[in-house]
């Protein structure tokens, strides 16, 4: 079921509907109610723009973590070989 709100009454006010020729009207001010859509086109555009700005940051962070793990592995490998050479 779709949700409705009155564009002129305060949002905290409990909404009461009044049907008028198939249109839903506000019982307080008599204005036609506006249907609330779950996902509006504006939200989709905002999500795409936010993803476009955040994606390079996420990629950079993942590359940095990957590089840090690789250098750590190389360091431990070289220190192990140094210890093996010293022991023999």
Answer yes or no whether residue 28 interacts with Zn ion by CB under 5 A. Answer: yes
Interacting residue with Zn ion among 29, 45, 49, 59 (CB under 5 A): 29
Shortest reach from residue 66's CB to Zn ion, in Å? 56
> Can you read off the two tokens belonging to residue 81?
């070989």
Query: Beta partners for 18?
Result: 25
In the window 35-54, what residues touch Zn ion (CB under 5 A)? Answer: none
Neighbours of 42 (CB within 10 A): 9
Closest to 2 measured CA to CA, from 29, 33, 41: 33
Q: Which chain residues interact with Zn ion by CB under 5 A?
A: 6, 8-9, 26, 28-29
């Amino acid at each position: 079921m779709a949700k409705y709100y009155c564009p002129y009454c305060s949002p905290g006010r409990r909404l009461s509907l009044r049907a008028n020729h198939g249109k839903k009207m506000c019982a307080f001010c008599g204005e036609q109610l506006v249907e609330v859509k779950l996902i509006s086109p504006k939200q989709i555009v905002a999500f795409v723009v936010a993803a476009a700005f955040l994606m390079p940051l996420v990629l950079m962070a993942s590359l940095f973590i990957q590089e840090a793990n690789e250098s750590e592995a190389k360091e431990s490998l070289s220190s192990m070989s140094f210890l093996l050479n010293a022991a023999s």
